Amino acid sequence: MLICSDIAVHVAMTLDATYIRGSMAAILSVLQHSSCPQNIIFHFVSSSSASNSSLLRSTISSSFPYLNFQIYPFHDSSVAGLISTSIRTALDCPLNYARSYLPNLLPLCVSKVIYLDSDLVLVDDIAELAATPFGDEDIVLAAPEYCNANFTFYFTPTFWSNPSLSLTFANRKACYFNTGFWLLVLFLFLLFLVMI
């Protein structure tokens, strides 16, 4: 399958040694539930500072010998100074923010991509998700919305002790979208970035 094929289903994930088992489970679930696994192209983003990138590549290749994939380096320095340690310890890793840079990392011919976290398991055909009609041509991203979340343990005590941060939730219904799964129209996202 050529990367610029019109029938390709593009799936992006971050890849590191810490979460490799979860990534493998996610990949397997995507392939097992796909009606045309040969049409799926995986785009893995890995830290450019990782010393084990060849090990990650060989692990994926030996586990899934027919998998069509590319690994793209992400430079941690592009976000390292922007990460707030008052939010959540698990989010301190720069690779967590690589998903926001997908339009700059992936080839220009990739028009739409599904981003998956390594802790997800799919139980349906990912091609159906990729074919989701947006309806409005200005929609850049689609993701599930959650409005019953309890954010008490999501943020650190430092966050809650800072009134300018914690007042964000005062008298509001806390809705958010899960950044661990979304469908992104890359060229529209790039246009949006140019406008801001």
Q: How many domains does the chain have?
A: 2
Backbone phi and psi for residue 13, each to the nearest 5 degrees, phi listed first = -150, 155
161 plus 183 within the same structural domain: no
Asked if 114 and 12 count as a contact pair (C-beta separation under 8 A), the reply is: yes
Q: What is the pLDDT of residue 44?
A: 96
Query: What's the CA angle centered on 94, arms 108 and 117, to 5 degrees?
Result: 65
Overall average pLDDT of the 28-55 stretch: 91
19 found inside a domain: yes
74 plus 39 within the same structural domain: yes
107 plus 149 within the same structural domain: no
> Of 146, 147, 145, 152, whose CA–CA distance to 173 is shortest?
147
Backbone phi and psi for residue 96, each to the nearest 5 degrees, phi listed first = -60, -25
138 plus 150 within the same structural domain: no
Q: Give dist(CA 115, CA 179) in Å, integer.
A: 8
The number of helix segments (H) and strand segments (E) in the chain equals 8, 8
- Residue with the bigger pLDDT between 31 and 104: it is 31
Segment 87-140, tens digit of pLDDT? 666 677 878 888 888 988 999 899 899 999 988 999 999 999 898 887 767 778
